Amino acid sequence: MNSIESVSSGAHVDESVDSAVREILDGPPINDYVKRQIQLAVERFGLEHPSDTLDRKTLNDVFMAWADLKSPTHYSDTWSEFVKHPDFKKESGRFNGDYSKVTLKDLETFKAGGCKELPE
């Protein structure tokens, strides 16, 4: 599944976005701590703003909101708690330490549950 399926079916990624970032956004889910967060933050943008254009400034705003503790779309701490959870790296678990297996829905469920249990 393309990690930014919602963006490619709605919001447009502007040509001004750096080609290396575009490769991350256009590719499959990535097993990399930072790059996967980029994909998830942009996926959230696409869900919230399906008809908007994602240009360099908007992309920066999306990343700032992901990290801003006061933002309702703040997920960087949730991400950190998620991947530090002891069950995240269990070999018999769903995630098996693989960042690419974490979805936006997983993070939302984890956050809504007080960051206690990983979703099934």
Would residue 118 be called left, alpha or beta, if left means φ above 0 and alpha means ψ between -120 and 50 degrees? beta
| pLDDT at 26 (0 to 100) | 86
| pLDDT at 10 (0 to 100) | 53
Distance (Å, whole) CA 109 – CA 54: 26
pTM of the model: 0.85
Domain boundaries, the chain: 5-112
3-state SS assignment for residue 59: helix
Residues of the chain with pLDDT under 70: 1-11
Which of 79, 68, 71, 76 is CA-nearest to residue 102? 79
Give the DSSP H/E element, type plus range, for residue 53: strand 53-54
The pLDDT mean for the chain works out to: 87
